[in-house]
Amino acid sequence: MAHERTERNGAQLVLDTLLAEGVHTVFGYPGGAIMPLYDALFGHALRHVLVRHEAAAAFAAGGFARASGSVGVCIATSGPGATNLVTGIADAMMDSVPLVAITGQVRSNLMGTDAFQEADVVAITHAITKRNFVVRDVNELRATLHAAFRCARGPRPGPVLVDIPSDVLKAISSEGADERVGGSLGLPVASEAAIAACIELLRGARRPVAIVGGGARSSNAIDSYREFCRRVRLPHTATINGLGCGAPGDPLFLGMLGMHGWKAANLAVAGADLVLAFGIRFDDRITGPPNRFATNAKIVHADIDASEFGKTVRIDVELHGDLQATLAALNRALEGVTIPRFDRWANEVADFGGPLPRDRGDRERLSATDVLDALFAALPDDAIVTTDVGQHQMWSAQRARPSHARNFITSAGLGSMGFGFPAGIGATFAANGRTVVAIVGDGGFQMSLPELATVRRYNVPVKILLIDNRNLGMVRQWQQLFYDRRYSATNLSDNPDFCAIARAYGVEASSVDHTSNLAEAMRHFLAHSSAMLLHCACYPEENVWPMVPTDAAMHEAIEAAG
């Protein structure tokens, strides 16, 4: 049927397309070249969240995407506005997070002239986006944005940038009413032969281990992965992005794998005769030297991105396909097939573990690990946790037992400080009333402090748990262990009064510095109905254990200094 033709300018078309794509919340910061879009936003139904720095817009959009499974959207102006998005875009690329960044650009006739606030953001982001576009014709705007969303969603999710000159945002288009989004890209399917080969290896195994990563979250394969683990009853572990993929309380879950992973997880993989890897990248933080990773094991790798096969470690069976479909096919193939029981192996790897090593001063001084143990013991099962980067990130990943993989959100691949707080803000907009706690360190929090204003303006009920050890703790730990205690540029003993700063922004805050006050402080913190900062003044020299040194194999972790 014929569609009514109405005149719309480019900025209005952008907003129409976002609504057509199901977007209801965007994060951004205005400026000159993007001003026509902000004019169209005035009074619009789309909810725009004004952050206080463009980097926070990208991190918040990433937090929203990770928590919701939907595409996150951030908006910035040309030049410095666009370049300030770069770290958040790179973070999304490393962790396969669906993100669309919309940037303004100088007028088309000025592009390439070094005009005021001009930056070639398409060239700048070439290596950290799945794809990027510059739109030079208003009549191509909607189709380009729809293509950007399709690309961001998959097959392997990631960030896409759309750069729009200000004259294109102002230009009039007389295209017909927008059609709904085009179909999603087709997903590859693992071959029957590869599925059969995997089953055959499993039937012959005696010491199998499964590793799950962020790919299970991206492909909504959580239920199928849990069904696989239930059917096979084999020990299983997770990368930091795979936490929450296994069933809550599963006794065969060995904890996080990797440089600061649980001892049982690392030793089980080292001793395995079969490793089943689902949606992981085999990055250096879980493999150590690739030629020393799982040296006695056959390796099956299931992933949607064929470029990951053999990139780091040798692979014996490649399951190239959508992980949800691959796991469903494996579960079907297991019906009627006799798989040996792995009870003896499961008991053996359980004995590999033991409690996490402790490292603190005297018992009266507040320990960061005690704080985090108290937090995770008190959190509701459906709570969402975001973290910044550093020691508190690793302590949190060791202790977290999220009920779903979308409930633990961290900058894993890029490891970007300043991520945790704005990601928590973004996650709160996707949380549907659930508790959201942003765990931050004193270093990373000071990279995003102004977002307290965002929290106040929009009454974002995010809880901020600040681990303040007056150091850049992870760097300090490495300097202690590997640089003869030459503590260069890691001392933060001149930290400000964080509670006073929070209150100046209108955010409730309290502080705890003694173990005797911790339980009551945590209770009040989690019971508070709106945003709150809990400042925890912690023992400054506590280290993260276990720790695998650089170039050591994953079974060669150290558990104490010296």
- For residue 180, the model assigns a pLDDT of 52
Fold of 8-173: Rossmann fold (3.40.50)
Render 547-562 in DSSP notation, one character per residue. BPPTT--TT--B-S--
Nearest partner of 277 among 336, 306, 230, 317, judged by Cα: 317
Tokens in use for 117? 């606030």
Looking at residue 357, what is its pLDDT? Answer: 86
Number of C-beta neighbours around residue 185 at 10 A: 10
Query: In whole angstroms, what is the distance from residue 489 CA to residue 470 CA?
Result: 12
Whether the domain at 8-173 and the domain at 192-350 fall into the same CATH topology: yes
Cα–Cα dist 243/260, whole Å = 14
What per-residue confidence (pLDDT) applies to 286? 93
List, edge to edge, every strand of the sheet that includes 298-303: 253-256, 236-238, 208-212, 274-278, 298-303, 317-320
Domain 192-350: top CATH class: alpha beta
The encoded tokens of residue 499 equal 């509670």
Through-space distance between the first and last CA atoms of the chain, rounded to whole angstroms: 76
Q: What is the dihedral of CA 516, 520, 523, 529, to 10 degrees?
A: -140
Coil, strand, or helix at residue 236? strand
Residue 416 in tokens: 């970007």
* DSSP β-ladder status, 8-9 and 172-173: antiparallel
**Host H or E run for residue 440:** strand 436-441
Q: Give buried/exposed letters for 202-219 (b at 16+ CB in 10 A, else e).
A: beebebbbbbbbbbbbbb
Total Cβ atoms within 10 A of residue 314:
13
Phi/psi zone of residue 43: left (φ > 0), alpha (ψ -120 to 50 degrees), beta?
Answer: left
- pLDDT values of the chain reduced to their tens digit, one per residue, 562 residues: 344 446 899 999 999 999 999 999 999 999 999 999 999 999 999 999 999 999 999 999 999 999 999 999 999 999 999 999 999 999 999 999 999 999 999 999 999 999 999 999 999 999 999 999 999 999 999 999 999 999 999 899 999 999 999 999 999 997 765 655 555 567 889 999 999 999 999 999 999 999 999 999 999 999 999 999 999 999 999 999 999 999 999 999 999 999 999 999 999 999 999 999 999 999 999 999 999 999 999 999 999 999 999 999 999 999 999 999 999 999 999 998 888 899 999 999 988 877 888 887 666 789 999 999 999 999 999 999 999 999 999 999 999 999 999 999 999 999 999 999 999 999 999 999 999 999 999 999 999 999 999 999 999 999 999 999 999 999 999 999 999 999 999 999 999 999 999 999 999 999 999 998 999 999 999 999 999 999 999 999 999 999 999 889 988 999 887 6
Taking the domain 368-537, which CATH number applies?
Answer: 3.40.50.970
pLDDT of residue 1: 38
For 290, the token pair is 């690739």
Residues 228/199, Cβ–Cβ less than 8 Å: no
Structure tokens at 9: 């300018």
Query: DSSP strand E in 96-141: where?
Result: 99-105, 131-134
pLDDT on residue 278: 97
Can you give the residue ranges of every domain in the chain?
A: 8-173, 192-350, 368-537
DSSP codes of every residue in 138-194: GGGHHHHHHHHHHHHHSSS--EEEEEEEHHHHHSEE--BPPPPPPPPPP-----HHH
Residue 184 class from Cβ within 10 Å (0-12 exposed, 13-18 middle, 19+ buried)? exposed
Between β-strands 172-173 and 208-212, what pairing exists: parallel, antiparallel or unpaired? Answer: unpaired
User: By the 8 A CB rule, do 330 and 278 touch?
Assistant: no
